Structure 1
Amino acid sequence: MKTIRIAAALLIGPDARTLLVRKRGTQAFMQPGGKIDAGESAVQALARELNEELGLVIATEDAGFLGEFSAVAANEPGHEVNCQLYRVQVEQDVVPAAEIEEIVWVDAGDVGHLKLAPLTRDAILPLYRTLQTA
């Protein structure tokens, strides 16, 4: 199985909900972020992707590293994603751009109606719930 290296954000809004995105032509919601380019650090990739996908400008030092997680890729059969996950607090509005078709803010319990990427469902949202109750 091939591995795709990505950086993703557990993006937390002013009301403590987290943002999930769905890329155009796909079904599964996931954290915003994307592939890490050659010569780029994970946090640099995250800042670039958040800007491209949501119009967010973040300072890389404001992204808190939460850990490394892996799961079967949602949109690329035969691939696994290896994710460097960062917590990012945002105050400004986000606007879907580039390949993002839909965004949704969710709280720790309100996701039963959404189709979720395996990494989001099995690793990131459980971590988010733990952080919310901590």
Structure 2
Amino acid sequence: MRKHDGVHDPTPRLIRAVGLVRFVADRLLLVRADYQEAFYLPGGKIDPGETELEALHREVREELGVGLTGVGFTGRYRADAVGQGDGVRVELACYSGVPDGEPVPAAEIAELAWMTREEYLARPVTAPAIVALFDDLRR
């Protein structure tokens, strides 16, 4: 039972999200929102009635100020969602793509970084889905 609401919720919540995989010279493009400690892929939650690709293009435009070309599906990850509470999981649909300009932090994005797997793992907070993605990118 969670202390804050007094009600036991046996069904973990699942957040459906999309993310841009931009992996160049062993470095992955990552962002950190101003309300998060962990870096994650540019992208975000899929709105009701929106396709994964529509959400990807919208989120990347909002967060990085760029459009995408050459978009292709790269994988899907299910993992614990960072900073969303106990029992909350994320299903992250990953797509590769090429920005049509220079990505810059916009909207709620506080930082943009290109990190190696080792640099990411050295961070104080990491997202399990991003660690799994890094592992797959190394293969």
**Does 2:127 align with 1:97?**
no
Aligned mates of 2:80, 2:116 — CA distance in 1: 24
Q: Quote how far apart the aligned CAs of 1:16 are.
A: 5.5
Paired position in structure 1 for 2:120: 111
Q: Is the 8 A contact 1:70 1:83 kept in 2?
A: yes
Aligned mates of 2:23, 2:99 — CA distance in 1: 6
SS in 2 for 1:63: strand
Q: What percent identity do the matched residue pairs reach? A: 35
Aligned mates of 1:55, 1:36 — CA distance in 2: 18
Listed as ranges, the gaps of 5+ residues in structure 1 are none
Q: Quote how far apart the aligned CAs of 1:93 are.
A: 1.5
| TM-score, structure 2 as length reference | 0.82
SS in 1 for 2:106: coil
| TM-score, structure 1 as length reference | 0.84
Query: Quick one: which amino acid aligns to residue 50 of structure 1?
Result: V
Paired position in structure 1 for 2:93: 84
Q: Is the 8 A contact 1:12 1:88 kept in 2?
A: no
**Does 2:14 align with 1:6?**
no
Paired position in structure 2 for 1:43: 53
Listed as ranges, the gaps of 5+ residues in structure 2 are 1-11
Query: Quick one: which amino acid aligns to residue 68 of structure 1?
Result: R
Which has the larger Rg? 2
Aligned mates of 2:13, 2:122 — CA distance in 1: 30
